[in-house]
Amino acid sequence: MTPLQLQTTLTDLGYACGPIDGVMGPLTRQAIKLFQADHDLTVDGIVGKRTLSQLHKRVAQAPASDSQTLTQSDDSIHDLIPLALPWLHCAHHLIGTQEVSGTGSNPTIMQWANYQQMPYYTDDDIPWCGLFVAHCVSSQLTNEPLPSMPLRARAWRTFGQQCTPQLGAIMVFWRESIESNKGHVGFYWSEDDDTYHILGGNQSNSVTVAKLAKSRLLCARWPITSLTASSQVVIAKRGDDPISQNEA
């Protein structure tokens, strides 16, 4: 179920959520809370497993297929993100966040480190792809265990459970060489024949979608406290954007 489908469903059930525009704003959150209160659910405005199950029981449309392959442009994928992937919604909302050039640091990035209790993270010149993933996951899945050293991209190889590359998966790559201890981590956004399109931080010093060679992939991981992976693969046009070589 996507945000647009959620808003349509809530409206049809009599819960006013404002314009049906796919934006999870305060009116939509309030409608979710009212639905949760009426169905003896935790009233937190988050569409988790139990809330999503109750919504599916009250609409004729069955849950999405366990496996889907979609063809979509990178710019329009956000319209397809299911509600069950709140960490990916969070990541998409942060596109454009970037380091401060020269002296100083972006306070938003530093707040992520403070939330993660990382007093050793003192400057956004320190690679922050792992910090970005940690923020998106932990802010949306509060009970999800994170790697002990989330700043280290390769530490995410032990996160959650193994999965196939799919929309929202945490994707871990080697950097410089497969034998090195350097890496990169981000979220699956789409793919073409040769590359994965990754929504991640510290990509050209900002949160953006970048193309990484499939040959660099170490593993794909899925949160253990989320809904079961749906195996939703998104095929994107290759385009003329260069392939990222070094995300540091």
Any idea which of 29-33, 131-135, 204-208, 236-240 has the lowest mean pLDDT? 236-240
Note the pTM of the prediction, 2 decimals: 0.79
pLDDT higher than threshold 90 for residue 97: yes
Q: What would the CATH number be for the domain defined by 68-235?
A: 3.90.1720
Mean pLDDT of 114-121: 95
pLDDT higher than threshold 50 for residue 40: yes
Mean pLDDT of 184-192: 97
pLDDT for 65 equals 43
Whole-Å CA distances, 31 to 17, 54, 61 = 5, 14, 20
Mean pLDDT of 72-97: 85
- Which residues face 190 on adjacent strands? 197
Are the C-beta atoms of 69 and 233 separated by less than 8 Å?
A: yes
pLDDT for 67 equals 57
pLDDT higher than threshold 60 for residue 167: yes
Any idea which of 120-134, 174-188, 215-229 has the lowest mean pLDDT? 215-229
pLDDT (tens digit per residue) in 124-134: 999 999 999 99
pLDDT higher than threshold 70 for residue 149: yes
pLDDT band at 81 (very low <50, low <70, confident <90, very high): confident
For 36-48, give one letter per residue: b (16+ CB within 10 A) or e: beeeebeeebbbb
Superfamily of domain 3-57: PGBD-like superfamily/PGBD (1.10.101.10)
pLDDT higher than threshold 90 for residue 56: no
Question: Across the chain, how many H-helices and E-strands are there?
Answer: 6, 8
pLDDT (tens digit per residue) in 57-69: 776 544 444 456 7
Contacts of 134 (CB under 8 A, 6+ apart): 112, 116, 146, 150, 151
Are the C-beta atoms of 185 and 200 separated by less than 8 Å?
A: yes
Give start-end residues of each CATH 1.10.101.10 domain in the chain.
3-57
Mean pLDDT of 11-18: 90
